[in-house]
């Protein structure tokens, strides 16, 4: 691989000759050899959408000529389509404003634009990364804008469809199992009956709430910092630039949400409470997924020495030493993802608290963690749905055994013989290893006919007048 010389305000740098980036990108590559976490591809694509919109607006404002505009637009489209992959080498652990990633994008777009215009970017600098691609912008307003664009695109493309998929599966299962009466459990102890369909219906509502919370967070995430430039004043940007860029983004990006100019650019640059709100919604979803996964693996535990009220698909061997063992692996994967997302939320919350004066300088780590959460949640929900949830079936033998053995059916007797007498029946039955009916008759509190009339598990699953 050969090298060429590129210059910036700091002097000359040797840059790989087969790459479109230039001196500022190379400085970052050499100055930040930290970790393996690269700037997320989603942020790169968000930047490309933004730079494209900015070029269109600058052209409309007569600040950028037609040839440069068309070349920049084409270069941005190539980034969006993945044609310039390999030209964005920077890590997350760089300057906290994301300046170097902004300049990486500016340099790549500029050099590719020169090539599109028919010149060799190594020789003739027809398009300048700062003066043309970054016109009317600062890293301080472009990076937070690009990352918010990426959040919206990824949530719409990946997470909402995933949630809908699993919600639909649980809706079908809830309806399918609506007449299967089983024992309930509270405090990990026997409780009164419910149907298996009712139990699964809670998961449907959890996922509905997750959709609503994510939709609520979009109100804040769609407020964009672009136009604030360095400190929020909009220096070197046209007064209408921000609104115009948002309008173009709404026209050119396929989203169900409307991007708007942030009403206070000083807030937009220095605070990321909107990201905390979004991360909180992701955290709440993770909490519910943890609960769902734990319920499913407990209910499927066994197959002979656990609860075993449901069956889940047997996808792969579960042990390298125990033949025939099968584990609830999809549940385990989803719980691990949930823990990671909860940790990401802590990182986002702490990072967002670190805005000093006119700028928060934890932007890349905020972007990285939120995008990882979106990606992991989307992937694990789809995997859990396809490899576990759709294959859930009831184990009626165990369900009926536990239901008939449960002492908590005695709760149905409260209105007829009172709490104290009902408790006496339950405790005596438990002590003697007998049934509720046997002890109710021995204690003379009920006749067999009365017991059979009052204790009907299927009638304990809904309120009665």
Q: 72 CB contacts (<8 Å, ≥6 apart)? A: 51, 52, 55, 64, 109, 113, 127, 132, 133
Res 272: pLDDT: 98
Nearest CA-CA partner of 41 in 133, 153, 159, 116: 153
Res 465: pLDDT: 80
Res 245: pLDDT: 98
Q: 286 CB contacts (<8 Å, ≥6 apart)? A: 337, 338, 339, 341, 342, 345, 373, 377
Known binding-site residue numbers for substrate: 97-99, 128-131, 138-140, 186, 320, 325-327
Could you give the CA distance from residue 69 to residue 421 in angstroms, rounded to a whole number?
A: 85
Res 123: pLDDT: 94
Res 257: pLDDT: 97
Rg of the chain taking only CA atoms, in angstroms: 30
Res 307: pLDDT: 98
Query: DSSP E strands: which ranges in 207-362?
Result: 223-224, 260-261, 310-311, 355-356, 359-360
Output the furthest CA–CA distance in the chain (Å, rounded): 103
Nearest CA-CA partner of 422 in 463, 460, 400, 454: 454
Phi then psi dihedrals of residue 7, to 5 deg: -120, 150
Domains plus CATH for the chain?
Answer: 3-135 (1.10.275.10), 140-226+264-396 (1.20.200.10), 407-459 (1.10.40.30)
Res 212: pLDDT: 98
- The residue to which tokens 């996808």 are assigned: 315
- The residue to which tokens 């009052």 are assigned: 454
How far the first Cα of the chain sits from its last, in Å, is 82
Known binding-site residue numbers: 97-99, 128-131, 138-140, 186, 320, 325-327
Q: What is the pTM assigned to this prediction?
A: 0.96
**Which residues of the chain carry a pLDDT beneath 70?**
none
What string of DSSP letters covers 342-398?
A: HHHHHHHHHHHTTEETTEES-HHHHHHHHHHHHHHHHHHHHHHHHHTGGG-EE-HHH
Res 292: pLDDT: 98
Res 464: pLDDT: 87
Catalytic residues: 187, 319
């Amino acid at each position: 691989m050969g090298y060429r010389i590129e210059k910036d305000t700091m002097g000359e740098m040797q840059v790989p000759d087969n790459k479109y980036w230039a001196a500022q990108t190379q400085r970052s590559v050499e100055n930040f050899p930290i970790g393996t976490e690269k700037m997320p591809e989603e942020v790169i694509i968000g930047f490309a959408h933004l730079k494209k919109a900015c070029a269109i607006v600058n052209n409309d404002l007569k600040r950028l000529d037609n040839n440069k505009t068309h070349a920049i637009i084409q270069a941005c489209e190539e980034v969006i389509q993945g044609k310039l992959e390999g030209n964005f080498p920077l890590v997350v652990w760089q300057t906290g404003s994301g300046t170097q990633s902004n300049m990486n994008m500016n340099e790549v777009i500029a050099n590719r634009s020169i090539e599109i215009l028919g010149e060799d970017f190594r020789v003739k600098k027809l398009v300048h990364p700062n003066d043309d691609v970054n016109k009317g912008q600062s890293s301080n307003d472009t990076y937070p804008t690009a990352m918010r664009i990426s959040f919206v695109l990824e949530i719409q493309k990946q997470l909402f469809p995933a949630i809908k998929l699993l919600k639909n599966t649980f809706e079908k299962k809830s309806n399918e199992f609506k007449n299967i009466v089983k024992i309930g459990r509270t405090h990990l102890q026997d409780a009164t009956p419910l149907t298996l369909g009712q139990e699964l219906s809670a998961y449907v509502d959890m996922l509905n709430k997750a959709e609503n919370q994510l939709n609520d967070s979009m109100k804040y995430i769609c407020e964009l910092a672009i136009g604030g430039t360095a400190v929020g004043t909009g220096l070197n940007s046209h007064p209408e630039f921000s609104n115009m860029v948002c309008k173009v983004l709404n026209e050119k990006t396929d989203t169900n949400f409307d991007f708007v100019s942030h009403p206070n650019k000083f807030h937009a640059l220095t605070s990321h409470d909107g990201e905390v709100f979004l991360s909180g919604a992701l955290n709440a979803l993770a909490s519910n997924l943890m609960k769902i996964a734990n319920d499913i693996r407990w209910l499927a535990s066994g197959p002979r020495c656990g609860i075993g009220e449901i069956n889940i698909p047997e996808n792969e061997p579960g042990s390298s030493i125990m033949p025939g063992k099968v584990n609830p692996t999809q549940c385990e994967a989803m719980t691990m993802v949930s823990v990671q997302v909860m940790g990401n939320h802590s990182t986002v919350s702490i990072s967002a608290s670190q805005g000093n004066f006119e700028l928060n300088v934890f932007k890349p780590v905020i972007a990285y963690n939120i995008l990882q959460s979106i990606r992991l949640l989307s992937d694990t929900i789809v995997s859990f749905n396809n490899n576990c949830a759709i294959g859930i079936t009831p184990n009626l033998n165990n369900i009926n055994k536990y239901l008939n053995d449960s002492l908590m059916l005695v709760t149905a007797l409260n209105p007829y013989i009172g709490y104290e007498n009902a408790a006496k029946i339950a405790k005596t039955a438990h002590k003697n290893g007998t049934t509720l009916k046997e002890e109710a008759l021995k204690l003379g509190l009920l006749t067999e006919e009365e017991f059979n009339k009052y204790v009907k598990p299927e009638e304990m699953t809904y309120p009665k007048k």
